[in-house]
Amino acid sequence: MFKSMQSMQMQAVHCFQTIGPDNKEYRAIIAIHNTNLGPALGGCRCLHYAHEQLAFDDAMRLAQGMSYKAALGQVPQGGGKSVIILPDDIAVEDVDRAFLFTWFGQCVEKLNGQYITAMDVGTQVADMDVIFTQTQHVASASNIGDPAQATAQGVMVGIQAALDFYCSPDGAISSVNMADKCFAVQGLGHVGWRVATQLKQLGAQVFAADPDKDKCVQAKALGIDIIAVEDILTQACDVLVPCALGGVIHDANVELLSCKIIAGSANNQLANDGIAQILAQRQILYTPDYIINAGGLIFASHQYRCLQSSNGALDAPEVGQGYSDKIESIYQTLIEIFQQAQGSNINQVANELALKRLDKGLDSLPTKGKVYDAA
Ligand code: NAD
């Protein structure tokens, strides 16, 4: 593990264990990648893992990703992630969640604000509310609010940046009218619904797909063209907007894509890193997911810091304001990355820019965060 920590430049990895009321052993890992820009923020996964090492790898890889995401989103936070390893012989529905998240809240509290937790795969707002009874360092309890609106705003900004860049081959960026373009939105959930309906309101042609029939009926009533789930990725369009699952662009479908741009909220859209290279060869402009979907992180970080500075008062006047400009800055970050990438692996270009911002630390950010020394 120390080798992995070294190669990923991981700042600290904290391990915790306890025995539950069911006499089973529960373990948690909190990985802190880098706090140059501020205390580490990142979700808590609560899952079964086939092997402990996979849990360490997950926590460290995701914490590193959060550092990069915060740096490129100009968020004064570091990168962290936590993992709760469920015992093999207990089903998720049998877990005593009140016990588990009370204990996990105590683990987070022990780190004195070096790590701020949030929702992720296998955790819900109700779990975050339990954690909040033990520590203030939670960025997605019910007092923070739903980040989906902010994420959708970032996706709209990212789509505009990608279209403007794609349609300006001579390098002089000018604004493209989205109403003249055609979009294919995969997933009509919290984010996809907002993006698809906003695009439609602007007058664009919008195709969408979702296995949820009710959502499709509602979207159709708004003039959105509903197509089969298995056809959405290969639909001819200007912009493919993946807002459902990870790994949707893979070796078997990358050659079948019929879009000019990919720009959506889903995490880890590319099944492997080689796909970014194939997209570049096919002259499909890929918008790195962790930049275009940073609106949710920008929102959560802002709300958390407002609540901290108002000692947790829920009606603090500044809560809910002041993060929109930062979401708009996703536009400039993407243009910078598009210009630098020009046919090369765009994810690598984005990672290099993130590392530069991390090295520069707080001086590179307009709003400085508090830095904690990792133990
Ligand atoms: P969600 O669960 O609300 O919506 C996902 C939607 O995708 C659901 O309506 C589901 O029915 C649909 N879906 C599932 N399989 C599908 C398929 N094969 N084809 C088409 N649709 C399918 O999730 P969300 O909050 O809208 O997030 C969407 C994506 O964006 C996720 O990958 C998430 O990790 C990522 N993301 C979300 C946020 C946020 O603020 N919610 C922030 C960052 C990243």
Closest CA to 372 of 132, 9, 10, 32: 32
Strand, coil or helix: what is 222? coil
Rg of the chain's alpha carbons, rounded to an integer? 21
Closest CA to 239 of 301, 161, 295: 161
Express each pLDDT in 285-324 by its tens digit: 999 999 999 999 999 999 999 988 877 664 544 455 679 9
CATH code for the domain defined by 148-293+329-359: 3.40.50.720
Distance in angstroms (rounded) separating the CA atoms of residues 115 and 89: 29
Q: Angle at CA 296, nearest 5°, toward 197 and 210?
A: 40
Distance in angstroms (rounded) separating the CA atoms of residues 119 and 214: 26
Query: Which token pair is 17?
Result: 């264990």
Residue nearest to atom 1 of ligand 1 (CA): 189
- Centroid of ligand 1 to alpha carbon of 101 (angstroms): 25
Query: Which token pair is 275?
Result: 């796909």
Quick one: pLDDT band at residue 369, thresholds 50, 70, 90? very low
* CB-based pocket (< 6 A), ligand 1: 147-148, 151, 186-192, 209-212, 215, 229, 243-245, 265-267, 293, 296
- Centroid of ligand 1 to alpha carbon of 261 (angstroms): 19
What phi and psi values does residue 107 have, to the nearest 5 degrees?
-60, -45
Q: In what order do the strands lie in the sheet with 225-226?
A: 225-226, 205-209, 182-186, 239-242, 261-262, 285-286
Does the structure show a pLDDT above 70 at 44? yes
Which residues belong to CATH 3.40.50.720 in the chain? Answer: 148-293+329-359
Q: Is the pTM of this model over 0.75?
A: yes
Express each pLDDT in 129-174 by its tens digit: 999 999 999 999 999 888 999 999 999 999 999 999 999 988 789 9
Express each pLDDT in 232-274 by its tens digit: 999 999 999 999 999 999 999 999 999 999 999 999 899 998 9
Query: Which token pair is 147?
Result: 């980040």
Q: Which residues are catalytic?
A: 81
Which residues belong to CATH 3.40.50.10860 in the chain? Answer: 2-67+77-132
Tell me what the pLDDT averaged over the chain comes to: 92
- Centroid of ligand 1 to alpha carbon of 112 (angstroms): 33
Q: What is the pLDDT of residue 3?
A: 86
Distance in angstroms (rounded) separating the CA atoms of residues 338 and 375: 38
Atom of ligand 1 nearest to the CA of 299: 40
Closest CA to 66 of 239, 238, 300: 300
The residues facing 208 across adjacent strands are 185, 226
Q: 2-67+77-132: CATH homologous superfamily?
A: Leucine Dehydrogenase, chain A, domain 1 (3.40.50.10860)
Atom of ligand 1 nearest to the CA of 289: 44
Distance in angstroms (rounded) separating the CA atoms of residues 244 and 155: 13
- Centroid of ligand 1 to alpha carbon of 309 (angstroms): 32
